[in-house]
Amino acid sequence: MRAMVLDAGSRTLRLEPSKAVPDPDTGQVRVRVHACGVCRTDLHVLDGELDHPKLPLIPGHEVIGTVDALGDGVTTLKIGDRIGIPWLGWTCGRCVYCLSGRENLCEQAKFTGYTIDGGYAEFALADERYCIEIPAIFDDAHAAPLMCAGLIGYRALRFAQDARRVGFYGFGAAAHIAAQIARSRGQDVYAFTRAGDAAAQAFAQSLGAVWAGGSDTQPPDQLDAALIFAPVGALVPAALRAIVPGGVVVCAGIHMSDIPSFPYSLLWRERQIRSVANLTRKDGEEFFAAALQANVHTTVTTYDLADANTAIAKLRSGALEGAAVLMP
C-alpha cells in the first residue's frame, strides 16, 4: 500500500509507495481508507509539540473507510461496513476513568495517528470498540472532518451548555461544524478570526454568525461562553474579557501556547476556564445525531494522498476554508 510516513527528526512526510498492508490483531479490523482529514493535531505531532509519538508513524485520525478484514474475536462489525476511526483508538477498559464513562482520560489510552498508525495510507487498523458507524448522508470526503473537528467541536460546545451568545476563537474546521449545531439550537454565534482575515469572517457569516471580527477585538455584545480552537494562549485572557460573570472559556485544543498572566479581576465573579481532552464513544453517538438534526455540511478541499505535505502547509498558513481531506 501507499502511505505517508513521519520519521524521527523530520517535520515533513515521505511517501512510502509499497509499505506492507497490515494484518488485524485480535479485536481489530482492517479498513480500506477512502478519506482522511488533515487536522491541526497532525501539525502538533509534526512540529514536536506533542512529544513521544510512535516513530516511524503514519499520521491521520479523521479516517473514513470500509472494513476489509476481521481479526479474531470481532463481533460487532463485518466486512463491507462503512465506519470512521477517531483520535481515541484504544483504552484499557479497567481504570477508574474507563469505568465511570470518562474513557477520554484513560492514562493508558492510545491515539490514532500518534501512538498507533493512522489513516494517511490506503489501509489502517482499528480497535472495533472505537469504530463509529457513519450515516450514509455524509459522503467520504465530507464525513472525514467530522471524526475529530466535529467531535471535539461538539464536546467543546457541550461545555457551553445553554449559553445564548457563544464566541468561536479560530474559525477553522472544528468551529465551522460546531457553529452549525449552535445555530440549529438557537444560539448566537460570534466568530473571531486572524486579524484582517476578511475571507474567514465572510465564511463565518455565511454559516450564520451574527458578528465576525479579528481575535484582537472585542465583540459588540458580552458572550455567555467562548470556545477557543486556535492554539494561542493569549486568547484566554482576551476571551475572559469578552464573557459575562458566570461565563465559561473552553480551551478545545490538545496543545496551546503558554497562557500569559492576567489580573484576577478577569476571572472573578465565577467565570470559568476549562479544557477539553479527547472524546468518548458517547460523544460520537450524540454528535452524529446532532449533526443529522442540524443538517451539518462540511466545507472541504480534497488532495491526493501523495500531496499530504501540501495540504499540511495550507493548514499551517491559514489558507484553508473549512478542512483539508486526503483521498487515498
For residue 67, what pLDDT band results from cuts at 50, 70 and 90?
A: very high
- DSSP three-state, residue 183: helix
CATH architecture, domain 3-148+279-327: Alpha-Beta Complex (3.90)
Q: What is the pLDDT of residues 126-164, one digit of tens each?
A: 999 999 999 999 999 999 999 999 999 999 999 998 999
What tens digit of pLDDT does each residue of 153-210 get? 999 999 998 999 999 999 999 999 999 999 999 999 999 999 989 999 999 999 999 9
pLDDT > 90? residue 215: yes
CA distance 153 to 163: 15
Note the pLDDT tens digit of each residue in 77-94. 999 999 999 999 999 999
Contact (CB, 8 A) for 243 and 273: no
Per-residue b or e along 65-82, where b marks 16 or more CB atoms closer than 10 Å to that residue's CB = bbbbbbbeebeebeeebb
| Whether the predicted pLDDT of 319 surpasses 90 | no
Beta-bridge mates of residue 301: 324
- Asked if residue 135 has a cis previous peptide bond (ω within 30° of 0), the answer is no
Look at residue 144 in the predicted model and tell me its pLDDT. 97
- State mean pLDDT over 266-278: 97
Break the chain into its structural domains and give their ranges: 3-148+279-327, 151-275
**Which fold is adopted by the domain 151-275?**
Rossmann fold (3.40.50)
**pLDDT confidence bin for 51, thresholds 50/70/90:** confident
pLDDT at 318 exceeding the cut of 90: no
As a whole number, the mean pLDDT across the chain is: 96
E-only strand ranges, 117-221: 123-127, 132-133, 165-169, 188-193, 211-214
Q: Over the stretch 89-124, which tens digit does the pLDDT of each residue have?
A: 999 999 999 999 999 999 999 999 999 999 999 999
Buried b (16+ CB within 10 A) or exposed e, 297-322: ebbbbbbebebbbebbebbeeeebbb
Residue 65, pLDDT above cutoff 90: yes
Residue with cell 445553554: 162
pLDDT band of residue 328 (cuts 50, 70, 90) is very high
**Residue 42 scores a pLDDT above 90:** yes
% of residues, the chain, pLDDT over 90: 96
